[in-house]
Amino acid sequence: MAVAAQSAGRDPASVALTAVSKQQPWEVIAPVLAAGQRVFGENRVQEAKARWGELRLAESALELRLIGPLQTNKAKEAAAFFDVVETLDREKLARALAEAAASLGRSPRLYVEVNTGEEPQKAGVLPLEADGFIAKARDVYGLTIEGLMCIPPQGEVAGPHFALLADIATRNGLSQLSMGMSADYETAVQFGATSVRIGSAIFGAR
C-alpha cells in the first residue's frame, strides 16, 4: 500500500487498511490484532457479532465495518454494532438506517455502494442513479454520507470502475473512497482509494 501510494504521488498515511476478517479463524486474526491493526471488515452481522462482540467492549479503538449486503430487518442491529456500514444501496435501507439512528441516538458512518459494473446480481446503486440516491439519503432521510464503495466486476480491468467511483464522489462532495481488494488494491490506491479492503492477502485463502 505504501509503495502504491508513493508511486501515485500520494501520502501513504492517506490510505487506510480495512482487514477483511470474514470467514477467517481467530488464530489468523489474533496476530494481526496483536500487530496493531484495529480496522476490520465483516460481511455478515451475526458472524461479526460472534467474532468481535466481546472484544469490542475491551478494545475501544476497534473499528468494525460492514462490507456485505444489509437486509432491512437487520438495519437496527447493524447500526447498533458497526462503526461503519459501507453497503447503503437502496431507499428502504436508508429509511431503516435513519429510523435506527433516531431510536439508538447514534448512527454508524455510512458509505453508499455503487454497482459500477451494472451487474444484475450485484448490490449497489447504478452509476446513473447515484447522485439522486445520495441526495435523497441526505435530504429526505437526514443521513450523513461519508463516502462511496464499489466492487468492480471479476475479470474486468478495475481502473475505469475506480475512476468512475471517484468521479461520482467528487461531484457529490464526498472525500472517502472504499475501493480495492487483494487483487487490485494498488490500482485502487492509484485512483484515489482512501481505504482498501484486504482479506486473503493478509489472512490467506478463505
Ligand X SMILES: *Cc1c(COP(=O)(O)O)cnc(C)c1O
Give me the residues that bind ligand X (CB under 6 A), please.
20, 22, 43, 67-68, 151, 181-183, 197-201
Nearer to ligand X, 15 or 67 (CB): 67
Report residue 193 as a C-alpha cell. Answer: 482509494
Q: Which residues pair with 88 in a beta bridge?
A: 112
Residue type, 84: V
* Residue with nearest beta carbon to ligand X: 199
- Least separation in angstroms between CB 18 and ligand X: 8
- Least separation in angstroms between CB 139 and ligand X: 27
Q: Which residues pair with 196 in a beta bridge?
A: 17
- Least separation in angstroms between CB 111 and ligand X: 11
- Least separation in angstroms between CB 58 and ligand X: 26
Nearer to ligand X, 175 or 200 (CB): 200
Nearer to ligand X, 24 or 98 (CB): 24
Residue 41: strand, helix, or coil = strand
Residues 6+ apart with CB under 8 A from 105: none
Distance, in Å, from the CA atom of 155 to the CA atom of 205, rounded to the nearest integer, reads: 18
